[in-house]
Structure 1
Amino acid sequence: MTTRFKHPTDIRLLGRRIMEARRARGLTLEEMSRLVDVHYTQISRIERGQAALLSKNMQKICKFLDISETRIMPAGPPTDLPQRVEELILKWPGCETLLLSILDGVEAALESRGGGN
């Protein structure tokens, strides 16, 4: 069964998770291709966020990499901070510098208040 992604950034977020999980295991695209029986070019397309459907092949990849179903298809817009930051970075490449500046300002404010405790 194939399912269409609910939000445009879902596939990019999933692709990034797949790439990170594959690399964390020290696998090349070709090695993973042999292990999951999905062509390496298709895995590459998925990792780059160039798929529109949650296909059987994508589900095989997620199962192999132990990426849970709930993380594949979020119910709605991201609500937790790390996921929101990741989505922002995907929507606005180059915003990392701005986000780091904001974090530096927050850390400086905490330090001036006595270490943030």
Structure 2
Amino acid sequence: MDIKLLGAQIKSARKRQGFSLKSLGLKAGVHYTQISRMERGTGVFVSKNVRKVCEILQVPIAPASRVPSSNEGLSEKIQDLIQDWPESEELIRNFIDALGVVLVSGKASPAPMPNKGNRSLKGRSSTVG
């Protein structure tokens, strides 16, 4: 999904239908500042709020011919984490940025799965925390 394009479509539909940010927010049950961020394509889109706004404005979220990808639901999981724990947003962003750096540098390689016969894990505790 192109977030910037969706945001532009939301803004265009809102203005065309005569909604202010606040009036649309009240109708959708979404804070008007979040709708403003949606329109600009910034911040994190919380899927249920985007759906509410798009439903009211009759803006399609994705083309009908959309083929599910292998990472289906990943962005929703991240958005749910941030919605449930807003203070985690910076941590999640930093993690994703660091992961991107490692992947681009080519230094990432699949880690071997630990098992009882793996000598590299000898002497290490297998429990966390």
2:3 pairs with 1:21: no
Higher-helix-fraction structure: 1
RMSD: 2.4
Query: Is the Cα contact below 8 Å between 2:38 and 2:45 reproduced in 1?
Result: no
Q: Conserved in 1, the CA contact under 8 Å of 2:28 and 2:53?
A: yes
* Unpaired runs of at least 5, structure 1: 76-117
Greater RCO between the two (CA within 8 Å, min separation 6)?
Answer: 1
Aligned residues: 67
CA distance, structure 2, for counterparts of residue 50 and residue 73 of structure 1: 26
CA contact (8 A) 1:12 1:48 kept: yes
TM score, norm. by length of structure 1: 0.50
- Please say if 1:31 is aligned against 2:23: yes
Q: Post-superposition shift, 1:70? A: 2.9
Question: Hey, what does 2:4 align to over in structure 1?
Answer: 12
Q: How far has the Cα of 1:74 moved from its partner? A: 5.9
Which structure is larger by alpha-carbon Rg, 1 or 2?
Answer: 2
Contact 1:11 1:51 in 2 (8 A): no
- Structure 1 position 54, deviation (Å): 5.6
Q: Distance in 1 between matches of 2:46 and 2:21?
A: 19
- Runs of 4+ in structure 1 over 6 Å off: none
